[in-house]
Chain A
Amino acid sequence: MAESPLSIEQTGVTSPATRKRPNAILRLLRYTLLKIITLGAAVVIGVYLTILVANMGGYVDEIMKGQIQEQVMLTVSMDPKMKVLSQAERTKIIENRIQLEVERLNLDEPFIKRSFGFLWDALTLNLGRSLKLSSDTGSRQVRTIILERLPSTLLLMATANLLLFFTSLFISLYLSRHYGSFLDKLVIGLSPASSAPPWFYGVFLLLIFAAVLNVLPFGGMVSAPPPEKLGPYLLDLGKHLILPVTAWMLSYIFSSVYSWRTFFLIFSMEDYVELARAKGLSSRAIERRYILRPTLPNIITSFALMLITLWQGAILTETIFNWPGLGEMLYSAIQNFDSPVIIGSTVIFAYLLAITVFSLDFIYALVDPRVRVGSGGPKS
């Protein structure tokens, strides 16, 4: 999540000398097309792999057939009207009903053929109906289930991630100005703390604030029953947010600050920054014009990648804090072999990621005049 900005490659950096060639537009088009094709292919293959795994290579079909058989046998044997029929007739009725149900669900077709059907449905965002999970309103539509969980995940993840992102950016800028100070050394010393995931800090936080001090709730999003007025409701929501957000921050902030700080330090040692300093510019102006400007593409990349990870929710953090979000939904979908929900969640993630990666190239060109889309350099 908090990936080191140092590892992010700048795409297509080229010297200004090669600018303004006549075939620039043609090359741009070719590059765009190539990028769309490769990313599209990655999405298709990725989603197909997910379909294969989520259906256990067709084994989920067998499970479903077994369930249908059991269900039909049970209803027929419980039906008093069937009792008068002979054994042979009953068997025939059972077989007929099973056949009907299997055909209704297209289970008689080979899995390979069905899997391509799934793929097409997934890619066209025709998410279909879930097998077991249902939304709070009782709907079986995967779309409804996902949309219902989206706000709560966004609330948690956006609060946590935005807070993390901007706090670490500001702290790291401050530290890069005061490098070598006590605070700087403290952050460096604490950066190993980030090897522990948020749920781990969550356990400690729950222990301290929920179990021992008993000041904050053990989990969930609102108290039961939820407060009726808006004010108390929001307050209650905020109270439930504190621990998961703190756990998230504790886990990521130190390494995030550390890597941004190092990154900014590298840039602040450039000759042009030294020159600006020599000219007597204020440190604020240096920061804005000579440090933040050239690092903007990296900041944007990091921000964009952070935004799409919001989509997946945080399976573990949501599980530890009983937060009813997308991560928790995905987890229970997997537990229930609910492949449509798993595939739906994956395909949306894949699309979001592909779109982000694709548009980052163009955003780079917009914010950084040194970058031109589609020019040579190392491809990403």
Chain B
Amino acid sequence: MKGLLRNFKQYPSAIIGSILVLILVGIAIYTVIAIPYDEAIDQWRGGEDVRGAVPKTARPIYVNWFTSKKLPSTMVLDTTDPVEGVEKSEQDLGKGLRDINIVFRFDFNADDFPQELQVVMTSKFEDKNPFATLTWIKPDGTEIDLGDIGIKHSEIYRFQDSNLVEELQGVAPHIALFAVPESDPPEPMKGTYELHVDAIVFEEEADADAKFISFGQVHGIAGTDTRRRELSLALLWGTPIALSFGLLAAVGTSFTTMFIAATGVWFGGVVDESIQRVTEINMMLPFLPFLIMVGTFYSRSIWTMLAVVILLSIFGGSIKTYRAIFLQVKESQYIEAARSYGAGNWRIITRYLVPRIIPVLIPGLVSAIPSYVFLEASLAILGLGDPILPTWGKVINDARMSGALYNENYYWILQPAVLLMITGLGFALIGFALDRIFNPKLREV
């Protein structure tokens, strides 16, 4: 074992590969602990209310590090959760009337416009609902009347007031309200903006609150998709799923295959013959179409798929390779010695035959992991991804289906693709080094 480690260190590729795999394993463990399964599923599959202020198809935050044109990020200013720049004051107007004055003051320094604006207003009242007037003040002092709105418990003002639209001359409000006047194409004006919400309440107990949301063009470490879901969640949860699928499929397949080959060779005769026939039948079955059929007709669950993948791969081409090696080993003298002192069939297979094949098995197993990880993604591309779990392949498929390539939302497709690539590369590098360590004959060529 020590020798193995020393050998392993001689291959820089093995070290890089191990680091990549260790990082992935670390991410996987962190994800499973930090975002429990149920929570992740809720967040991924729940409605918009679960997600809150998340913009649609926003780029990842890191985009801003590489471009000189800084994109605005999402900003939430809430009177129930006051931060600096949020002021709420009251003024008694007499006759039971009160004026609740809410001011949102914020700096805007991005080089592009936000994606969408919203003011969510909530109120408490008995009979007569509060009435609010909204005003927008630009850094240069221009005041824009946004219109009036009656606040019935919960009201979302989407800057679509008819007067406002007319005043802005058809330019979308999230652009016009931030634009330098007369600029074409519109340029954002930098500086301190103010949004005033003047709510008149008509009752003693009545109250009004407001939340201003400016949906940005960048959001979160991985951006968001068209359904306002944070991609970071899917990318994080995709890691343990991809790793476990790849590992389980590779381990399940290679160990079972090896064991079947050993049994066949040891017992020979009918057993060996029937294993060969089953291999031939399996060869006739088209692998991917069969998987697609099972996925379409029966179940798309990733664990069903895993079982079918293993089942179809057991009697694959590698059984012949193993068989050829076992046939040689079977004739060795130490096997004869074992038999002569009375070792049983089972003991000979597990203790004498199987260990001899480990040098071939282990590198093959490690190298096989990426192909199974990619297989899971391939199934997702065909729309056969797991119906519940978020996986990398499903993110790529969602992106493709929403035309991410046409709409230039490259991050959406690139991030899961890069993760897949890192996984593939990591295991392939390790497998490659292991192959050379376990089979020194290859080292010379």
Contact = CB atoms under 8 A, between A and B. Distances in A.
A269 B421 CA distance: 36
Nearest to A312: B286
A207 B416 CA distance: 14
A353 B406 CA distance: 40
Interface string A202-213: 011011001110
A353 B408 CA distance: 43
Contacts of B428: 191-192, 195
> Closest 9 A-B residue pairs measured CB to CB?
A192-B428, A46-B284, A195-B370, A42-B280, A350-B284, A195-B424, A265-B445, A211-B405, A42-B281
Contact of A211 (B327, B371, B406, B417): B406
A206 B424 contact: no
Given A203-B396, A204-B417, A334 B320 contact: no
A337 to B, nearest CB: 7
A203 B296 contact: no
B395 to A, nearest CB: 12
Interface string B217-239: 00000000000000000000000
Interface string B404-425: 0110101001100100110011
B27 interface: no
Among B292, B317, B400, residue most surrounded by chain A Cβ atoms (within 10 Å): B292
A248 to B, nearest CB: 14
B382 interface: yes
Given A200-B374, A266-B445, A315-B289, A39 B280 contact: yes
Contacts of A50: 285-286, 290
A181 interface: no
Given A203-B413, A207-B413, A331-B292, A189 B13 contact: yes
Given A46-B284, A59-B297, 11 more contacts: A38-B280, A46-B283, A49-B281, A196-B370, A203-B413, A207-B405, A262-B445, A315-B288, A334-B296, A349-B286, A378-B324
Interface string B273-316: 00011001111111011101110111000000000000000000
B343 to A, nearest CB: 26
Interface in B1-24: 13
A199 interface: yes
Contacts of A312: 286, 289
Given A53-B297, A189-B13, A266-B445, A315 B292 contact: yes
A50 B285 CA distance: 7
Contacts of B321: 7
B381 interface: yes
**Which bracket fits the contact residues of B?**
35 or more
Given A42-B284, A207-B414, A195 B374 contact: yes
Interface of A: 3, 7, 9, 38-39, 41-43, 45-47, 49-50, 53-54, 56, 59, 179, 189, 191-192, 195-197, 199-200, 203-204, 206-207, 210-212, 218, 262, 265-266, 269, 312, 315-316, 319-320, 330-331, 334-335, 337, 342, 345-346, 349-350, 353-354, 378-380
Among A39, A218, A334, residue most surrounded by chain B Cβ atoms (within 10 Å): A334
Contacts of B277: 38, 41-42
A54 B293 CA distance: 7
A346 B293 CA distance: 12
Contacts of A218: 405-406
B327 A378 contact: yes
Contacts of B377: 200
Contact of A43 (B284, B293, B297): B284
B410 to A, nearest CB: 6
A339 to B, nearest CB: 9
A335 B300 CA distance: 13
A316 B377 CA distance: 11
B427 interface: yes
Interface in B361-389: 367, 370-371, 374, 377-378, 381-382
B432 A42 contact: no
A195 B293 CA distance: 24
Contacts of B442: 262
B405 A353 contact: no
B429 interface: yes
A53 B293 contact: yes
B292 A195 contact: no
Nearest to B298: A56
A9 B432 contact: no
A1 to B, nearest CB: 11
Given A203-B413, A353-B283, A53 B294 contact: yes
A325 B432 CA distance: 35
Contacts of A266: 445
A192 B429 CA distance: 7
A324 to B, nearest CB: 16
Among A195, A200, A212, residue most surrounded by chain B Cβ atoms (within 10 Å): A195
B427 to A, nearest CB: 7
B355 to A, nearest CB: 22
Contacts of A346: 285-286, 289
Nearest to A59: B297
A342 B293 contact: yes
Given A49-B285, A192-B424, A334-B292, A9 B417 contact: no
Contacts of A49: 281, 285
A50 B371 CA distance: 24
Contact of B289 (A38, A56, A330): A330
Contact of B432 (A192, A331, A354): A192
27 contacts: A38-B277, A39-B280, A42-B280, A42-B283, A42-B284, A46-B281, A54-B293, A56-B297, A192-B370, A192-B429, A192-B432, A195-B370, A195-B374, A196-B420, A196-B421, A197-B378, A200-B377, A200-B421, A203-B396, A206-B405, A210-B405, A211-B410, A319-B382, A334-B289, A345-B289, A354-B284, A378-B327
Given A39-B280, A349-B286, A337 B297 contact: yes
Nearest to A210: B405
Nearest to B408: A211
A335 B296 contact: yes
Given A207-B405, A211-B408, A179 B445 contact: yes
